[in-house]
Structure 1
Amino acid sequence: MFIARQPIFNKSLKVYGYELLYRENSDSKIFDSIDSTKATASVLGGLFENGIDDIVGDKKAFINFDYDFLMSDVLELIDPNILVIEVLEEIKADEKIIDRLKYLKNKGYEIALDDFVEKYNDYPLIPLTDIIKYDILARPLNTIKNEVKVALYENKILLAEKVETKEEFLQAKEMGFKLFQGYFFSKPSVISESNNKKTIKTQYIKIISELKKDEPSYQKIAEIIEIDINLSYRLLRITKRRESKNDFESIKKALLYMGLKEIERWINILMMQDLTIKKPKELMKTSLVRSKFCEFIAENSKYKKRKFEASMMGLMSTIDALLDKPMEDAISEISLSEDIKNALVDCKGSLSYIYNLMFSYEKGDWMNVKFYAKKLHIDESILYNGYIEALKWTHKSLDTIN
């Protein structure tokens, strides 16, 4: 079973919910009736088995349902305060489905129409719908202006999906869309041009450079940290929250307790947190999930000895968006291996397979998941567990630094 998530933002670029992308396996066709029903049952089972909080937190879960599953009672196991029911575009709007959706709405569930392509005024499910999702690649914004005005007049919430650029986001927002989905948020200059001169703090660069040496010095790292009271405080707070029974009278002792690899991991997390102050918080979460997921992929593939490189590659995969610079310029400020640079800039080199597998899984591109898993000699059936563990680790990590 595969489950991934894609964030859905409001106009302030705060996460409103996550669409859950799922499939029973990489060979199944999600929209075939039997496979779709089986996959939906699997994703619901996964939500309960792993705890829905670890997958969507306190946000909404948008889940696609086919005709058969909409007619079943199983979906009612999920709290209507959490679940948004996405009605697939090919579902026949007959009397049975209309009655069923009326019942679910009375139970408190929100109803969304996925990839809406019907004639707005004639479609019988419109009166029951709370959210209408427009694929703006299939139906460009300029072609649906009149329809949007009618929908807004009827108090429908409009969601633009496949939003890939800042310009598309701003145009949709101006037209009245309230929700947005796509990878626009993870690209440079999403919010403004004012952050172009943002740079990584000198302390972080010095620490990372020291950690990359053949024999890093705890003493030198401690001296760099000690001149920044904020960084010192945050480091000590992290060690305290990591269930340590020790009290540390010096930064150096706290560093020795953590160990070099943990120091490197936390310094990078703190650096990313600093860089996300004026950016969508989801970028920070995306970086951490990718970091842990890439590490998992490497550890269970033919590149198991390079798991820390893979982790760093995942963590730095959003640095261009954080700094509002092309990736090549953004990573020039920090010391990274050539393989990491090649993967991030050109998607080439030995680590690029790990990057491509991570990104394909994140997008729900299951055919490419199968392709890259085979290249890496990794059992694709374990990827679900690795992804869920990455989500859990991210939540725990953010709790530790906040």
Structure 2
Amino acid sequence: MARWPVYNRCSAVPCRTSGPASNCPSDGNRVKDSSDVFLGRQPILDLRQRLFAYELLFRSGHVGFAEAGDNVRMTATVIVNTFNELGVETALGDRRGFINVDEGFLFSDTLELLPPHAVVLEILETVPATEEVVARCRELRAAGYTLALDDVTQIRPSYGPLVDLADIVKVDIAPLSDAEVARIADELRPLGKQLLAEKVESRERMQMCRELGFTLFQGYYFARPSVIAGRRVDYGKLSLVRLLSLAIGDADTPELENELKREPGLVLKMLRMINSASTGVAVKITSLRHAITMLGRRQLMRWLQLLIFASSGEEGGGNPLLATAAARGRLLELLATELAPQNAALADQGFMCGVMSMMPVAFGIPMDEIIVPLNLPDAVGDALCLRVGPLGVMLDLAEAAEADDLAGVTSRLAALGLDLDTFNRAQTEALAWSNRLEDEAA
């Protein structure tokens, strides 16, 4: 049975009565209201470059805090309430959420309201390896929690007891040279810990870490376009672009069907995606004509867009490009619905804009070359190429959230007239939808 927190004299922070007195931060630097919290996320990929987990980032949405670098700590209550109120556990599906834990949060009973199977507790580098801290970490491990050490850039002898208790060690590779990363990996490998490289900004550094024995990689490096002059789109994806153009142009059903039949492998993937539970289709779709008839052109265009990403990479679940594209599309659709509840066309354009914003990554060619044959609505084309209009602002908002750019998030939300709570709920729903779609389609 979960224990409710006992509040100490600070009143803002629920603390374990047995914890050290120094774990009592003042009210002035703690965020207490979950409606003022931005919930960000960073993908964590495994050796096969499949989605493994997300780091969940809780940030104060107060403008002053954002401008100051957002070093304000959340109360344990706010983090747990945000996690539970938004249904984050459900949104994560089979993937875990990594959550930062400072010393005050570590000694809070409220922490134990987080489900052990759904989270990984990241012990921040600022937490000292005192006897009390080591004992608390040992207690949490016994309760079923997985522990990770965060932002490791060197192995201090005094940190040994915490290293022993950690299941995962996160190495911040951003400030380190390749030689320094190699030295830390050499020190940690004999200890049998799972090594996670964080702040990975390029595929080259990911590959370097992989060769050093790292098995987990955090960052959006997989979503950075690698544009090569003269690169040609492969035939399968080119076929999908033609199909998308036909659907946007309201072509006849036989014309669409004939174009689809040229790529039987992609047709099979599309039928799997359409029949996944995330679509809400009550009748199993068994053929192309059936799909076109049952779904209508509006839905068909969505699946054609997502199919471009489903055709990228290996078979099986965890395709990060598909998950990111689907989440962006769904997020922009939900935000457009908040802005204009009666405007279905804007919601459709939001979905299209979000998904298509990832196409330079899938194709390896610039956006303006991709959209030329598609005859897109002006609002979508302008948002994708010029970042103007409400859709352009929404797209900037989605990218700012992915980059954990709180100042960018707050300024775009203000421009749209939306609040953080609305955005968090839309983002969580988008994450849940994309995870269901990607996993079930596999």
- TM-score of the aligned structures, taking structure 2 as reference length: 0.77
Please give the residue correspondences for 1:2-401 in structure 2 after superposition, counting only pairs within 5 Å. 2-23=38-59, 25-27=61-63, 31-33=71-73, 35-46=74-85, 50=87, 52-55=89-92, 57-117=93-153, 119-124=155-160, 125-188=162-225, 198-213=234-249, 216-225=251-260, 238=274, 251-252=288-289, 254-277=291-314, 281-301=319-339, 306-332=346-372, 334-337=374-377, 339-345=379-385, 347=387, 351-398=391-438, 401=441
CA distance in structure 2 between the aligned counterparts of 1:246 and 1:9, rounded to whole angstroms: 34
Alignment-mate amino acid for residue 246 of structure 2: E
Is residue 276–residue 440 contact of structure 2 (8 Å, CA) maintained in 1? no
What CA RMSD, in Å, does the superposition of the two structures yield over aligned residues? 3.5
SS at match of 2:122: strand
CA distance in structure 2 between the aligned counterparts of 1:371 and 1:362, rounded to whole angstroms: 15
CA distance in structure 2 between the aligned counterparts of 1:392 and 1:379, rounded to whole angstroms: 20
Q: Check 1:166–1:208 CA distance in 2 against 1; reply closer, same or farther (3 A cut).
A: same
Paired residues in the alignment total 395
Is residue 162–residue 182 contact of structure 1 (8 Å, CA) maintained in 2? yes
- Per-residue CA distance 1:61-84 (angstroms, 9 max, x = gap): 211112122112333334434321
CA distance in structure 1 between the aligned counterparts of 2:410 and 2:423, rounded to whole angstroms: 11
Q: Which runs of 5+ in 1 are unaligned?
A: none
Q: Which runs of 5+ in 2 are unaligned?
A: 1-36
Alignment-mate amino acid for residue 45 of structure 1: N
CA distance in structure 1 between the aligned counterparts of 2:297 and 2:225, rounded to whole angstroms: 31
CA distance in structure 2 between the aligned counterparts of 1:167 and 1:233, rounded to whole angstroms: 33
CA distance in structure 2 between the aligned counterparts of 1:129 and 1:239, rounded to whole angstroms: 41
CA distance in structure 2 between the aligned counterparts of 1:236 and 1:294, rounded to whole angstroms: 24
CA distance in structure 1 between the aligned counterparts of 2:268 and 2:182, rounded to whole angstroms: 52
CA distance in structure 2 between the aligned counterparts of 1:74 and 1:240, rounded to whole angstroms: 36
Identical pairs, percent = 27
Which stretch has the larger CA shift, 80-89 or 321-330?
321-330
Offset of 1:316 from its aligned partner?
1.7
Which stretch has the larger CA shift, 253-262 or 383-392?
253-262
Q: Check 1:172–1:264 CA distance in 2 against 1; reply closer, same or farther (3 A cut).
A: same
Q: Check 1:386–1:44 CA distance in 2 against 1; reply closer, same or farther (3 A cut).
A: closer
Offset of 1:59 from its aligned partner?
2.1
- Per-residue CA distance 1:321-369 (angstroms, 9 max, x = gap): 2223344444456444455445445645663211110111223322211
Alignment-mate amino acid for residue 326 of structure 2: L
Is residue 290–residue 315 contact of structure 1 (8 Å, CA) maintained in 2? yes
CA distance in structure 1 between the aligned counterparts of 2:286 and 2:116, rounded to whole angstroms: 50
Which stretch has the larger CA shift, 154-163 or 367-376?
154-163
Q: Check 1:130–1:225 CA distance in 2 against 1; reply closer, same or farther (3 A cut).
A: closer
- TM-score of the aligned structures, taking structure 1 as reference length: 0.84
Offset of 1:93 from its aligned partner?
3.0
CA distance in structure 2 between the aligned counterparts of 1:243 and 1:156, rounded to whole angstroms: 42
Is residue 166–residue 189 contact of structure 1 (8 Å, CA) maintained in 2? no
